[in-house]
Amino acid sequence: MQDHRLALSPGFMIDNFRLERVLGRGGFGITYAAVDQMLGRRVAIKELLPDTIATRLDGRTVEAQSSSLQENWEWAKERFLEEARALATFTHPAIVGIQRLIEANGTVYIVMDYIEGESLEQYFQRTGPAKSQLEVMGWLAPILSGLEKIHAANLLHRDIKPDNILLRSDGRPILIDFGSARSTIGATMTMTSIVTHGYSPIEQYQTKGRMGPWSDIYALGAVVCRSITGEKPPVAADRIVEDDFRWLSHRGLVGFSKDFLNSVDWALRVKTQERPQEIAQFKESLFRTLRIQKNASRFQNANAANQGSIKNEKNHRQYANTEMDSSSSGCLLNTITSFAIVIIILIILSFFK
Ligand SMILES: Nc1ncnc2c1ncn2[C@@H]1O[C@H](COP(=O)(O)OP(=O)(O)O)[C@@H](O)[C@H]1O
Ligand SMILES: [Mg+2]
């Protein structure tokens, strides 16, 4: 904790949570690992402390840096609480669970489920570029489904990047670090605090940028690009001047269908209106290629008795399949139709008795 000048010390109590250590310090706040003293379980706590508006004065209380920023600080806390409350209503396996909101020490704390595992960034560094699109879909499909829910509530994440996606040990991905603070406090921040080069879309660099679901879609496309090539795309603000991004579909990448790469390229178009406008569109485009692949692999499975499985993709595939299997409702329809036909035949036979 000593490295983090403004951080609270280990052992500090916030309500019944005992702080253990700092997990991270961003421009908007400090994240701690803590223990719920009542339940004895670990949590993650994010303390709102935007470094351009507020500071900690007495080793405890967070205050506006000057009286002229007082109003700004109050407003930021209100908006932060408002968005955190909205987030807390979600229960989705790919969205970090919020346990409590606490107002204390002049600021606001979000108590979250503690995610045991590694970040997608650490995973990429450990495993190198993804070898197949099913491997990518393993983390991408649940994230798309979570984002769809977020967008339906008129919220945006605003900072999707491999550091903000945690992977549980069983492979399940979880989105953390929602942009509640970014939307409100952003205007007072330097550009580098509100963008992540390579992942942030062009509109995040612009003062009047049109932000929407397409903005998260761009960032997600950039994460996929990082996953399969090992590199994130060039900075969007440079791409708008001269675009030297080599489209993924032109790179001859092995293990990925042309359609899949085209879908990711679509997400990575610089201009907002040229990207998929909603997650549903992006998902449809990505899953179309997977359904084709899945049908092909069903055919192969029927023919090859001892087909070897790719073990390290097992977990990922399992989660990708939960998304892909929306088409399995067709099976239910088939079953009902067959059942109806049997009943009709039985009725007809009873007439001939
Ligand atoms: N719920 C969580 N469970 C476990 N670790 C977390 C959790 N939330 C955040 N962290 C860790 O703390 C770091 C910083 O948190 P984050 O919310 O991303 O804030 P910021 O990036 O603004 O500092 C993350 O990169 C992650 O390593
Ligand atoms: Mg973060």
Domains of the chain: 1-114 (3.30.200.20)
Q: What pLDDT is recorded for position 337? A: 53
Ligand 1 pocket (Cβ < 6 Å) reads 23-26, 28, 31, 44, 46, 96, 112-115, 119, 163-164, 176-177
3 is catalytic: no
User: Is-contact 120 165, C-beta < 8 A?
Assistant: yes
Read out DSSP for 51-109?
A: TTTEEESSSS-EEESSGGGHHHHHHHHHHHHHHHHHHHT---TTBPPEEEEEEETTEEE
CA 322, 323, 327, 333 torsion-angle sign: positive
CA dist., res. 353 & res. 349, Å (int): 7
> The tokens of 163 are what?
């550091």
* Digit-coded pLDDT (tens) for 169-215: 899 999 999 875 565 555 555 555 579 999 999 999 998 889 999 99
Q: Which atom of ligand 1 is nearest to the CA of 113?
A: 1
Q: What pLDDT is recorded for position 2? A: 42
Q: Which atom of ligand 1 is nearest to the CA of 26?
A: 23
Q: Of the candidates 83, 78, 84, 82, which has an alpha carbon nearest to the alpha carbon of residue 107? A: 78
Ligand 1 pocket mutation pick from 6, 31, 195 by most atoms within 8 angstroms of CB: 31
Which residue's C-alpha comes closest to atom 16 of ligand 1?
A: 177
Ligand 1 pocket mutation pick from 176, 180, 199 by most atoms within 8 angstroms of CB: 176
Q: Which residue ranges of the chain lie beneath pLDDT 50?
A: 1-3, 302-334
The alpha carbon of 176 and the centre of ligand 1 are apart by a number of angstroms equal to 7
**What is the reported pTM?**
0.82
Going by the DSSP 8-state scheme, the letter that residue 198 receives in this structure is T
Which of the following is catalytic: 3, 15, 36, 159?
Answer: 159
Q: What pLDDT is recorded for position 209? A: 87
Q: What pLDDT is recorded for position 218? A: 98
Q: Which atom of ligand 1 is nearest to the CA of 115?
A: 3
Q: Can you tell me whether residue 3 is helix, strand or coil?
A: coil
Which residue's C-alpha comes closest to atom 14 of ligand 1?
A: 24
